[in-house]
Amino acid sequence: MSRLIVAEFMTLDGVMEAPGFEEHRDGKNAWALRLQSPELQDFFRDQLSRTGAFLLGRTTYQIWAAFWPTAGGDADLVKQMNEATKYVVSNTLREADWANSTLLSGDWAAKVAELKRKPGGDILVEGSADLVNGLMEHNLIDEYQLLVFPMILGSGKHLFRDGIDLRPLRLVNTKAFPSGVVLLVYHPESEMPTSQYAEPGYYTWTQEQVRSLQAAQNTDRVLATVLFTDIVDSTARAAELGDREWRRLLDRHDQVSRAEVGRWHGNLVKTTGDGLLATFDAPTRALRCAIGLQESLASLGLEFRAAIHTGEIEMREGDVGGIGVHIASRALAEAGGHEIVVTRTVRDLATGTDLKFRPRGSVGLRGVPGQWELFEASSA
């Protein structure tokens, strides 16, 4: 029987992406190399001596296959990496042509389980975050060896994705290296731990405490009408006009937007490059502001669209959030050029005015539950 070990480099904020010089989305690569030391190199050699094979996901395999065959540095380590047995889990790769590499596709979990039943050294998984999460779901991991680096990266792929099941682990070993890197070794537990402090009566919340928290949090929630706008096909216009003229046109767009929002007593929360987010205390004010913007921006040669929703929002430092903002944002995607799209809530509240509303039907808004009835608004 072989043990399957997940061995990872991880920052203090849980990022495992680009510990070496491979590409990072924000250029924050090589964070692990900055804290390498002779002691860590000795640990890697010892770890490799007990390894019978590597198990890799597609992305990590491609990074390694591009790097190790012509790598510099420790010649012995490079030789070991190239000669090691590698298994690649992928249903998209056509072949795995790096030396001693075998492709595992189809029912890969069953094939990994079969590998574990064979005698030999440890099966080591490095990088390969998606594969690690899949191995967790199939209960195929025997040990986690996590090297935690004293570094906060702030962006990048995390080892454990959001939404995975609760999984208890038992700490079996630790080691601190002089560089500040800490090795944490965990084994999966089959039963969820418990203690008297998790029993009812210690730290469970009473209904009164829950209501008190909700009351405190709701002080930042208000009923408001949210207006989102943007310029249709702004990328093509920018390419057509060139950077300088496009910047001048956007500056004029922002001036007109601020003036129109102020005219209707709205709060301009922020401009979004080629649009705006504003809130109003009445849906009719938001509607008349949008209609005014529609006319003013058309005179500048800009094709404008807007979406409006009335609902609860959260007031934040210089910004707004909450489901009401999300609904308005998603509704904007349903608007065409020179269109103002509103939800049924706005239509109902503005009934009796001189504004017109043409039904657009019910749609699903991405990330928002249920179907939403939309209307196109215009002046009479």
**Which range in 14-28, 174-188, 309-323 is most confidently predicted, on average pLDDT?**
174-188
Query: What would the pLDDT profile of 250-277 be if each residue is shown by its tens digit?
Result: 999 999 999 999 999 999 999 888 899 9
* pTM for the model: 0.64
d(CA 66, CA 98) in angstroms, rounded, equals 9
Q: Is 291 helix (H, G, I), strand (E, B) or coil?
A: helix
CB 35 within 8 A of CB 181: yes
Cα 112 to the center of its chain, rounded Å: 29
* Domain spans in the chain, listed from the N-terminal domain onward: 4-188, 218-379
Query: What would the pLDDT profile of 59-74 be if each residue is shown by its tens digit?
Result: 999 999 999 999 988 8
Q: Measured between alpha carbons, how far is residue 176 from residues 32, 36, 171 in Å?
A: 15, 13, 14
Question: Packing angle between helix 234-241 and helix 243-263, nearest 10 degrees?
Answer: 130
Q: Which residues contact 116 (CB under 8 A, 6 or more apart)?
A: 1, 2, 3, 4, 123, 140
Q: Measured between alpha carbons, how far is residue 312 from residues 229, 326, 332 in Å?
A: 19, 11, 18
CB 36 within 8 A of CB 179: yes
> What are 183's two structure tokens?
């090795």
Tell me what pLDDT residue 104 has. 95
Question: CA angle, corner 151, sides to 147 and 157, nearest 5?
Answer: 75
Q: Which of 5, 9, 29 is nearest to 181 (CA)?
A: 9
Alpha helix ranges (H) inside the chain: 38-49, 58-67, 75-83, 108-117, 129-137, 207-217, 234-241, 243-263, 283-299, 323-332, 344-349
Query: What would the pLDDT profile of 79-136 be if each residue is shown by its tens digit?
Result: 999 999 999 999 999 899 999 999 999 999 999 999 999 998 999 999 999 999 999 9
Q: In what order do the strands lie in the sheet with 51-57?
A: 101-104, 86-89, 51-57, 122-125, 4-11, 143-149, 182-188, 169-176
Q: What top-level class would CATH report for the domain 218-379?
A: alpha beta
- Work out the mean pLDDT of the chain and round it to a whole number: 92
* Neighbour-count burial for 215-230, b at 16+ CB within 10 Å, e otherwise: eeeeeeeeebbbbbbb
Q: What top-level class would CATH report for the domain 4-188?
A: alpha beta
